[in-house]
Structures are given as C-alpha cells and as structure tokens.
Amino acid sequence: MSHTCPAITTSPNGLSLSRIVAGMWRMNEWGMSPQQRLTLIEQCLELGVTSFDHADIYGGYEVEATFGAALAIKPSLRDQMQLVSKCGIKLISPARPDHTIQHYDTSASHIIASAEHSLRQLGTDHLDLLLIHRPDPLMDFDEIAGAFARLRQDGKVRHFGVSNFSRHQFESLNRRIALATNQVEFSPLCLAPMFDETFDGLQDLGVAPMIWSPLAGGRLFSSDEPAAQRVRAKIAEVADALQQPFSSVVFAWIMQLPSRPIGLTGSSRIAAIAEAVQATQFSLSRTQWFEILRAARGHEVA
C-alpha cells in the first residue's frame, strides 16, 4: 500500500513540514555509502516525507556532514525538503576537545555559531527550522530571542522552535519570538505531555508538537515490562481489527490528538517510514483509542 504523506503547517506563522519527519539521529550507524544515503533521501521525498530532523551533536557531531555529503551528490533536492536542526547541548567528544563537561549553552554566541556550523555541515545556505535542544537552567529568554532574530535577519534560519520544553518555558520564549513547535518525547510508554499541560498549551496556541521516540525506542516491540506487554497486546488487537501494520496504529494513535502531533521516524528502512506515512490515512475509533490509553496506564479513566 503506497500513500503520499500530507504536509502540515506547524503554527499560525510557522512553516510547512511533512506530517511524518525522517529522523537522522542514527544515520552514521546505518552503514550506508553516500549513494545509499542519497537513495534513502530520494525514497523519503517520493513518499512525501520532505522534512529531515538533525541536531549538531548527532553522531558525535558528524551526522549533519554525512547527510550533507549525500545531498551534495544531487544538490537540486534541497529545494524539495525542509531541514531541521537543534543546538544548545555541548557533549564531551573527540570532535570537541575543549569540552570538559557535558553541559548546556544557550548563549547567543553559541546559538549563532552552532547554526552557522550546521549550515556548513549540511551544505546549505539556510535552515528551515532551528530548535533549542533542551531547556538550560542558565537560559535567558531575551538573549535566545535576540539570537533567533539575528539569524532570521541574516537569512540563515527561517523558523525557530524548542525541544523538551515545559509549557511555561515554551510560552515564556514564545512571547518574545514566535515559535513553530516544541519537539517532545511521547509514546504509549511516555504519556507525560498529555497530562502535564504540554499538549494542551500547544493546542491552545495552535502549535503542533513534534514527537520523538513515538515507538518508545523500540520498547513497544520488545520490552518485557508489564506496561509494554499490555500495550503491545492491545495495539496488535487494534491493528488486526483495522488490518493495518502495528507501527502504523501507534503513529495514528499519536496523530489523533487535537494538538496535531508530527511524528518522527528513526529508521533507515524505507518500509518502516512508509508504515508511518500509512498512519496518516486512517483513524482509530474513540473506543480503540481509549483502549490503548487504558493499556498504557494500567487503569480505567476516573
């Protein structure tokens, strides 16, 4: 079954992303040649998966360059895609010998330098979306907004957002400069954003969250934790009733939320990405949706 992934506008003044985003976090672990990476990119674009998620730190600061080398084989593809990256974490890494402790840095100088480095690594003149990767106890909302405004003025980044921010943190920065998204962890095994006001706050503002680890890092398939076993059995039951793949049901369950979540994949297999896209084509009944939630929580709603 072949479907084309629809696009979604993330916020009132935000950008258009594909409803399923190809996550590149593990690209350097996939054992692909530059040509094979290019083929995967082309296959994603053919599916309508036009958005690719990066961060400066991925692959020990090397994934962006790996992706950029593949894109350099066929530079015309750049105009067909949206490139997302993140900054604000400093890792201890051979690529950064001056880092002596893993820490956060959301200073204007680091945000701007990181964005410019991502541009060089990816071989592009602009990022479509730049996110602050994690909340920083030393972050100054005014300083971050100023850095974002400068990057936009210089034409280097078109839209901005955050990742892993609380509702209050998001709204505090959003008051200073419009944010396009908050990328958070969510899955049937990680329900916090549904109950800690993250999704409610974003829905109120008309901002679509991006979702990382929607399949719980594979734990939905393999974990022997009681919650995982309950959820796995229920999702399999729903998948059988709907005659849809297991992972498609998970993505559909997530995307049914009214905050309009955008799911990230983390797979090198185009078949797995296609199953995520397939989830944009059907919905669960309200009963099926709540059956999965009940399995995830281990109790009825009150």
Tokens of 156: 């280097």
- Residue 293: strand, helix, or coil: helix
**Residues whose CB is less than 8 angstroms from the CB of residue 258 and which lie 6 or more positions away in sequence, other chains included:** 203
Phi and psi, residue 81, nearest 5°: -130, 165
Distance CA 285, CA 222 (A): 26
Type of residue at 217: G
Please, are residues 205 and 174 in contact by the beta-carbon 8 Å criterion?
A: yes
Please, are residues 23 and 53 in contact by the beta-carbon 8 Å criterion?
A: yes
Query: Catalytic residue at 61?
Result: no
Please, are residues 277 and 7 in contact by the beta-carbon 8 Å criterion?
A: no
Q: Residue 136: name the closest of 101, 104, 169 by CA.
A: 104
**Chain-centre distance of CA 269, in angstroms?**
17
**Catalytic residue from among 14, 19, 56, 58:** 58
Q: Residue 56: name the closest of 117, 101, 107, 110 by CA.
A: 117
Tokens of 290: 């709540």
CA angle 191, 267, 237 (to 5 degrees): 55
Q: Residue 118: name the closest of 191, 186, 54 by CA.
A: 54
Distance CA 299, CA 273 (A): 32
Would you give the DSSP letter of residue 96? B
Rounded to the nearest 10 degrees, how much is the dihedral formed by the CA atoms of 51, 45, 64, 102? 40
Active site residue ranges: 58
